[in-house]
């Protein structure tokens, strides 16, 4: 019997004026991933990421959360950093985030993998506004090619169900650290 392999991360970041920072904030995130070997060369990965940022001052735009696209706050099927509270039509980031990803990966060779994914997520104005029924959903397919001395090149094509006009969004990525 092959058991699932869980991994967890709990990054914390803070800045305090009494430590000579210009602003005062706390940024906490929690992430867990579990890999389930299914059969042959198939692996199912589930990932949950949640985070909050609080401040006695206004949280700077660059410390807020933005979901969408690829990366650690990725929801494929939507443009990068597009799922966020908005002011005057402009994404201003949220003080809370929730992202859930499920991937089924077929690793054919050491350097070639295909995957199918289902992503859900959103950034919210505050932790009090987090509503799990208000997550944006994306579904799609991807390919990963590992090139020695360069890293992994990936292409995903995600379908965003909850866009103003539902449709496909391509995502291209280069990861110099290899396949996960």
Q: What pLDDT, on a 0 to 100 scale, did the predictor assign at position 119?
A: 98
What pTM was computed for the model?
A: 0.88
> The tokens of 110 are what?
């050491």
Sign of CA dihedral 89, 92, 95, 99: positive
| Residue tagged 């990525």 (tokens) | 173
Q: How far apart are CA 38 and CA 35, in angstroms?
A: 9
24 or 82: which carries more pLDDT confidence?
A: 82
Cβ neighbourhood burial of 95 (10 Å; 0-12, 13-18, 19+): buried
**pLDDT single digits (tens) 153-167:** 999 999 999 999 999
Q: How far apart are CA 138 and CA 121, in angstroms?
A: 9
Q: What pLDDT, on a 0 to 100 scale, did the predictor assign at position 176?
A: 76
Q: What pLDDT, on a 0 to 100 scale, did the predictor assign at position 59?
A: 87
């Amino acid at each position: 019997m092959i058991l699932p392999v869980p991994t967890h991360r709990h990054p914390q970041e803070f800045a305090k004026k009494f430590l000579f920072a210009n602003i005062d904030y706390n940024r906490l995130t929690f992430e867990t991933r579990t890999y389930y070997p299914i059969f042959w060369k198939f692996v199912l990965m589930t990932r949950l990421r949640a985070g909050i940022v609080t401040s006695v001052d206004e949280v700077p735009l660059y410390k807020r959360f933005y979901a969408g696209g690829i990366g650690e706050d990725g929801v494929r099927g939507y443009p990068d950093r597009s799922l966020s509270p908005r002011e005057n039509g402009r994404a201003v980031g949220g003080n809370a985030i929730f992202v859930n990803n499920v991937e089924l990966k077929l690793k054919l060779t050491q350097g070639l993998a295909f995957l199918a994914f289902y992503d859900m997520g959103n950034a919210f104005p505050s932790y009090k506004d987090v509503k799990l029924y208000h997550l944006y959903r994306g579904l799609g397919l991807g390919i990963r090619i590992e090139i020695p001395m360069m890293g992994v090149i990936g292409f995903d094509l995600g379908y965003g169900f909850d866009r103003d006009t539902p449709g496909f969004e391509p995502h291209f990525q280069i990861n110099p650290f290899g396949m996960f």
